[in-house]
Structure 1
Amino acid sequence: MNVNSVQPVSNYLKSMQQGKDGSRLASIRNVLMMGKKLSSGEMNYLQRYDPNLHNQAMSISKERQAYEDALQHSRSKAAADYYHTFKLMQIAGQLKHGGSEELQMRANAIQEAHREFVRSSKYASLK
């Protein structure tokens, strides 16, 4: 067996795996940029391969959950809409100090959560 030919094959396989990992990370990053929730499999993947992005995703997820909980306790549509505006203005204020991808992800997560709430029966029942 020729050892010289085995080395380039292993390098090729390694680069293919890195390409797949990069593609999967880009896909997960796009999901976050759209404000969508990550699956547990995606969260596990991030924890293993990109701990920094995993921490960001966890933070965004917690903020979104707190926002959804606050919306559920709204007493009127106006209150829910006011809180939505307040939350987005809060994030916009942080963007002034230096825009970042994470802030964009946070804003999109809040937007998506609000869209889901507006489509819900809970929102329809508010005055």
Structure 2
Amino acid sequence: MLKSEQSYKEKHLKALLCSRRRCRQLQQRLSGKERRFQKHINHEITTYLVKKAATNKNSIAIEDLTNIRQRTNQQPRSKKERRLSNSWAFYQFRMFLAYKCVLHGVKLILVNRCIYKPYLPQMFAYSSDKR
């Protein structure tokens, strides 16, 4: 009985080590998955925007996204919305956009939200005769 008990403990220890090893391998594989996904999406969006602006000879104007998390977290939102907005890489998006604009010769304009906030309804209002 003593021998079978010891062999059971050895098998259990070996299985435990194997499962720990599998868990570590899984953690290592999944560790940068969200970061890689965000980088890929930011790259695709900025490439599309810059190519479209370059072919139409337009400039790109974006809101200055500095401190966006502090501004948006003041409003009551659901847990899912907070997680989505707080985990996104806004600075990375801006840096991708900046270097691609330089490469393609497109002008990038950073708009301060506070200055243009009163004018936003007039900027995006279209009259029916222009449609």
TM-score relative to the length of structure 1: 0.48
Between Structure 1 and Structure 2, the one with more strand by share is 2
When Rg is computed on C-alpha atoms for both structures, the one with the higher figure is 2
